[in-house]
Amino acid sequence: MSRDRTTPSGRPRIMVVKIGSSTLVRGTDGPDRAFIDALATQARDLARRGWALVVVSSGAIACGAPILGFDRRPADMPSLQACASVGQCALSAVYDEAFRAHGLLTSLVLLTRSDTASRTSYLHARDTLTRLVELGVVPVVNENDTVVVDEIRFGDNDTLAALVSCLVSADLCVTLSDIDGLYTANPALDPTAHLIPEVTRIDASIVGAAGDSATAVGTGGMITKVRASRILMTAGITSVIASGAEERPLVRLADGESVGTRFVPPASRLDIAPRKLWIALGDAAHGRLTIDAGAVRALVQHGSSLLPVGIIAVAGDFEAGAVLDIADPTGFVVARGLAGASSDELALACGRRQEELAQNRLLSTLADHPAVHRDNMIVFA
């Protein structure tokens, strides 16, 4: 990793750090003040090295639950949202106090999927975060759990961190968790598992190794971190998964040290258009297209559009323009794109050649238009 203080354009380098609940909150004692104090110290030292920091912080519900008298995470939505409301205030106050001690100003940015599913709102979020960084503020970003429902959830802050990294054109995204990186297998179950220091390509074997390591206070797991890293690799952004218990991990990474597992993007993927990143992250997938091996090759190797003839199966109920996952025959997602037709139309058209579609009055429009156009598709690294 470069030790230069700024990018070639002269702007500070931007580091996004995502902090999981299990790292940020210790049992029922609320925010780990010592951890946040250490984070603020690192933010000061990063600034001296020419880095700007953006924090994606979990922990609102975990902080609010004990304040409201819950001895465990509630199960009902109103209680969860009440905990998030109270906990977000408490957490923000701790961030503000810790960072102000080092002359740094923080801000609170709460997002939901409805804030980014619209391309216009997505761009407004980008502009706000970019301006905060320009002003020397450390944005603290979280999902707006006080009002969010399943339909507009990001699902996990790993995905949110990837979104924020793309919004601010980050140079590095770091996930601090309760595990020190990606292992060949779950180390809690397999004593022979060993840490993978660097990943240059995420395939089915890497996804399989991720397993699941969700904790009692968090909602994510290693698999969500790996999926987020895959999107970041596609965007040309390096990411790292490391333990929050490491000594000064952010400063060490800025200084070029190896910490945790680093996901290195291929150089050829550095020209992804911002609109395609919005397709990858702005909205949840509303359906899935399973495609055959030939179609996979056409998309991955040749950058082609997806034609109905290559579709094996259609899942979900969606209209034209909806965001879709595109998976190979094994179920591994290779791309994401905007549907060129509704689920009903694609279900009827799948497996049919263009000449056959042209002769069908119900499906003739698909003879001239792909199921997913390459300009509306992002193929994952």
pLDDT of residue 271: 60
- Residue 14 is predicted with a pLDDT of 97
d(CA 321, CA 339): 5
Query: Topology of 285-379 in CATH?
Result: 2.30.130
CA–CA distances in Å: residue 126 to residues 170, 222, 323, 338, 372 = 12, 27, 20, 21, 26
pLDDT at 4: 43
Query: Of 237, 241, 173, 223, nearest to 17 (Cα)?
Result: 173
Phi, psi angles (nearest 5°) of residue 142: -150, 160
pLDDT at 309: 94
Our measurement of the distance from residue 331's CA atom to the centroid of its chain's CA atoms, rounded to an integer in Å, reads 20
* pLDDT beneath 70: ranges in the chain: 1-10, 27-28, 147-156, 211-220, 268-271
Give 207-261 pLDDT, tens digit per residue: 877 764 443 333 447 888 898 899 999 999 999 999 999 999 999 999 999 999 9
pLDDT in tens, 170-187: 999 999 988 889 998 888
> Range(s) for CATH 3.40.1160.10 in the chain?
13-275
Query: How confident is the model at residue 49, as a pLDDT?
Result: 96
CATH architecture assigned to 13-275 = 3-Layer(aba) Sandwich (3.40)
Q: What's the pTM?
A: 0.85
CA–CA distance, 299 with 306 (Å, rounded to integer)? 7
For the chain, where do the domains classified as CATH 2.30.130.10 start and end?
A: 285-379
